[in-house]
Structure 1
Amino acid sequence: MKKTLSDKNILLAVTGGIAAYKATELVRAFVKRGANVKVVMTPSAETFIPAKTLAILSKQDVLTDETQEASSEVAHVKLARWADALVVAPATANTLAKMANGLADNVLTETLLASATPVKIIAPAMNDQMWGNAATQRNVKRLRQDGYSLVEPATGFLAEGYEAKGRLAETKDIVSEVERQLVEKTALDNGLAHLAGQKIVITAGGTREPIDPVRFLTNRSSGKMGYALAEAANTAGADVTLIATVQRDCSANINVRIAESAEAMLQAVQEEMVDTNVFISAAAVSDYRLKEPFTDKVKKQGDDDGLTLNLVQNPDILKTVGMAKKPGQIVVGFAAETKDLLANAKAKLSKKNADMIVGNDVTKAGAGFDQDTNVVTMVRPEQDPVEEGPASKLNIAKAILNQVVKIQEMQ
């Protein structure tokens, strides 16, 4: 068998469900592919399968509540740092709820909370009604937002004696997802090392143009794509400044500047461009603003009276930066479209004097505003378009930065 996971460190987290016995298959499959495998178990999991069985198969000690207590070191933190990939399989509804809410009441949840690996995969297994429960689905959604990938439960014969969705996914499907993500991470990480020490400026979010002291014109952008780009660039070792319209959680060493309007954002960008290597305009900038915003809250005048707003064009941030860029500076823009994606992206590439346009059709499933995933087409001069996704916005961000490296290498 091909050693597709050679020398990769995989941490298998086993929770307490009838499917826990399948952990033996997963350990064997990972070991056969060359991986180093360690296991952490909940007390409930030990009632279904002995820790000793998984220790023999993995040739590694298994971390349990009992062995944690007997250890003189902080074993769960050490184990979390060791892992290249974290696989929670099977993941019960109870553990999913704990993970989604940051609870750490056993050694397994403590280990998950201490893990910083970007390759985090959950494979749930439970009764179909538990899987379909609104609370479980809400927890899964939150975990996806936190960077976990999901291998969906399979449909098959459940312990309750009927066919339904809830069985643990096939071992081959879980292993394939781990392989895919680790191969992708290795390729992207190797390519992004070039960005270490470079200054990268990124914009994020939908600008807000005031109407009066309580209202504004805006759009559906959440800023998630821009923040993902900032995280990916930060992980690559770049000096990252994020100019955003909204404050979201991010790594502490990312320099965040809040600029809500298009004019404020342009001013912040121009201040940062003096010594910037790469500028990525991921913000959705309003094309128009009020010529003169109202100084007081606008009151309704009557049941049938309308309101006319006098709008003027906003400055074009991407074009302004593109036309003024210095030799060696890379300028990347976004094009959110609802039709003619490729044609519009190519036109924007030329008009804005950009080095690359990242086009995305916001009408596509899994793409666009306020999504945790995206689907993009990257357009460069005299190069074939490169499509990426559907994938998490963090992985999309890495693919975009990978193209930036290629542009720099050609200069």
Structure 2
Amino acid sequence: MASTQAFPHAALAGKRILLGVSAGIAAYKSAQIIRLIKQAGGEVRVVLTDGAQAFITPLTLQALSGEAVRTSLLDPQAEAGMGHIELARWADALLIAPATADLIARLVHGLADDLLTTLSLACEAPRLIAPAMNQAMWRHPASQRNAAQLDHDGWQVIGPAAGEQACGDVGPGRMSEPEEIVDALARHLTPAAHTPDAQRPHVVITAGPTREALDPVRYLTNQSSGKMGYALAAAAVEAGCRVTLISGPVTLATPAGVERIDVESARQMHDEALRLAPSAALFIGCAAVADYRAEHPAEHKIKKTQGVDTLTLTLVKNPDIIADVAALDAPTRPFVVGFAAETQDVAHYAGEKLSRKRLDMVVANDVSHAGLGFGSDDNAALLIWRAGADVDQQSAAPQPKTALARLIVGKALSLIDSTAETM
């Protein structure tokens, strides 16, 4: 499997990173985060909460970082007792990994009852945070509100990932892997492109599922996590593009530098896609859009009827977003990339979709393989594109979605460039 350490870490050379570690089992991964930052030429100072010391020792992190580890707010040896101010001023970036539900809640409410929360208030450098908690805790409405508030307050929220957890549960809440966290840190510290927005390629991406209401409390949807679309958005920003992400309902943080538009239904996503596509150089339809919706959603909650064991729903087709974008006339038509989730004859069905919907490129996934596709952090793909009058293709082995996203965006942009050169 390809390494997740795909983003160039040159941006970390000479940077001073303040790493906060709170009381979660994922604290052991903080050692690898330090190693990766040091390997990239960065400096690391570490702050441990009291609870974190039950999971990993200050001595371990001091040996790896080469710096004394701070644990106390009231330390008379730290800049005459003002250690939180000294650390906050020192840092080029603050990274907290792992961040527990408790720590996140305290940050949201501006509490400053230990060294880590205090310096978080005092630090004016970029702030990144990697949540880590049980899947039920992460899904709780309070945790979701808190994560959204962190994003609103300017924190970049990294992850969390989904999968098997230390408690035995399976689901979202596991801390992202150290390589992904350091990727995000490097990306955040990469100088922004100096090209004015008007001269940068505009990329529009759809991501996540849609929800089609049956009544005020029920809806039709699917298992899309949105991870692939969000990875594509981050990759397009890395490539120097201006990115607009049209997102269905997901629990993911907006990638740095991305404009995000939230929608619920397929028709809402269709309206936004058709509004934005004419201004785009590249349109990537990665969302798992519901094919059908209820013809007449009920005004009130549908009740069970005594003695009736069945319920009949009349469904009607939703608009075909990717086909409608591809049908736009030049010069407003962008380069159009679609996705095809298949379980058999992947190349055949993806090629047929390329032709039938008049797409420029298709990314085909075999979703029958366990551990790939919906909800997972990894994916494999077959890229098929038009090459003049012919069709060409490229296989991508199983790899992290972040790495696959870079491959897809890079291929699409290179095809756009080659097309422009022949015109």
Give the shorter-chain TM-score range: 0.5 to 0.7
Given the alignment, which residue of 310, 322, 330 partners 1:318?
322
Given the alignment, which residue of 350, 366, 373 partners 1:368?
373
C-alpha displacement of 1:318:
0.9
Structure 1 equivalent of residue 346 of structure 2: 341
Contact 1:378 1:386 in 2 (8 A): yes
Given the alignment, which residue of 220, 225, 228 partners 2:228?
225
Contact 2:128 2:158 in 1 (8 A): no
Secondary structure of 1:265 counterpart: helix
Given the alignment, which residue of 394, 410, 413 partners 1:385?
394
Secondary structure of 2:214 counterpart: strand
Given the alignment, which residue of 78, 81, 92 partners 1:81?
92
Say whether 1:146 aligns with 2:158: yes
1:211-250 alignment runs, 5 A limit = 211-234=214-237, 238-246=241-249, 249-250=253-254
Contact 2:130 2:181 in 1 (8 A): no
Secondary structure of 1:308 counterpart: coil
Q: Identity over the aligned pairs, expressed in percent?
A: 31
Secondary structure of 2:223 counterpart: coil
1:199-348 alignment runs, 5 A limit = 199-234=202-237, 238-246=241-249, 249-250=253-254, 254-294=258-298, 297-324=301-328, 326=330, 329-348=334-353
Q: Find the aligned partners of 2:240 and 2:366 in 1 and give their Cα distance.
A: 30
Contact 1:278 1:329 in 2 (8 A): yes
Secondary structure of 2:210 counterpart: coil
Given the alignment, which residue of 19, 41, 44 partners 1:38?
44
Residue by residue over 1:327-363, the C-alpha shift from the partner in whole angstroms, topping out at 9 and shown as x without a partner, is 5722121222334434333332222222322333444
Letter in 2 for 1:344: Y
Letter in 1 for 2:218: R
Q: TM-score, normalised by structure 1?
A: 0.62
C-alpha displacement of 1:379:
0.8
Q: Find the aligned partners of 1:36 and 1:289 in 2 and give their Cα distance.
A: 52
Structure 2 equivalent of residue 407 of structure 1: 415
Q: Find the aligned partners of 1:28 and 1:225 in 2 and give their Cα distance.
A: 27
Cα distance, 1:111–1:231 mapped onto 2, change above 3 Å:
farther
Contact 2:85 2:119 in 1 (8 A): no
Cα distance, 1:111–1:338 mapped onto 2, change above 3 Å:
farther
Residue by residue over 1:188-222, the C-alpha shift from the partner in whole angstroms, topping out at 9 and shown as x without a partner, is x89x9999732222222322333345433322224
Cα distance, 1:314–1:109 mapped onto 2, change above 3 Å:
same
Contact 1:195 1:238 in 2 (8 A): no
Letter in 2 for 1:257: I
Given the alignment, which residue of 361, 364, 384 partners 1:359?
364
Contact 1:195 1:405 in 2 (8 A): no
Q: Find the aligned partners of 2:370 and 2:288 in 1 and give their Cα distance.
A: 19
Contact 2:93 2:126 in 1 (8 A): no
C-alpha displacement of 1:308:
3.0
Contact 1:54 1:62 in 2 (8 A): no
C-alpha displacement of 1:375:
0.6
Letter in 2 for 1:319: A
Q: Which segment drifts farther, 269-278 or 338-347? A: 338-347
Q: Which segment drifts farther, 240-249 or 111-120? A: 111-120
Q: Find the aligned partners of 2:227 and 2:180 in 1 and give their Cα distance.
A: 26
C-alpha displacement of 1:75:
4.0
Q: Find the aligned partners of 1:410 and 1:366 in 2 and give their Cα distance.
A: 35
Q: Find the aligned partners of 1:310 and 1:293 in 2 and give their Cα distance.
A: 10
Contact 1:243 1:265 in 2 (8 A): yes
Secondary structure of 1:266 counterpart: helix
C-alpha displacement of 1:70:
5.0
Cα distance, 1:292–1:120 mapped onto 2, change above 3 Å:
closer
Q: Which segment drifts farther, 66-75 or 277-286? A: 66-75
Q: Find the aligned partners of 1:117 and 1:209 in 2 and give their Cα distance.
A: 36
1:116-195 alignment runs, 5 A limit = 146-147=158-159
Query: Unpaired runs of 5+ in structure 2?
Result: 1-7, 148-156, 166-176, 386-390
Contact 1:246 1:260 in 2 (8 A): yes
Q: TM-score, normalised by structure 2?
A: 0.61
Contact 1:203 1:243 in 2 (8 A): yes
Cα distance, 1:379–1:292 mapped onto 2, change above 3 Å:
same
Q: Find the aligned partners of 1:52 and 1:314 in 2 and give their Cα distance.
A: 54
Residue by residue over 1:280-304, the C-alpha shift from the partner in whole angstroms, topping out at 9 and shown as x without a partner, is 1121112223344455554444434
1:103-114 alignment runs, 5 A limit = 106-107=114-115
Asked which structure has the greater CA Rg, the reply is 1
Residue by residue over 1:170-189, the C-alpha shift from the partner in whole angstroms, topping out at 9 and shown as x without a partner, is xxxxxx97599669978xx8
The alignment of Structure 1 onto Structure 2 pairs a total of residues equal to: 356
Contact 2:33 2:182 in 1 (8 A): no
Q: CA RMSD in A?
A: 5.4
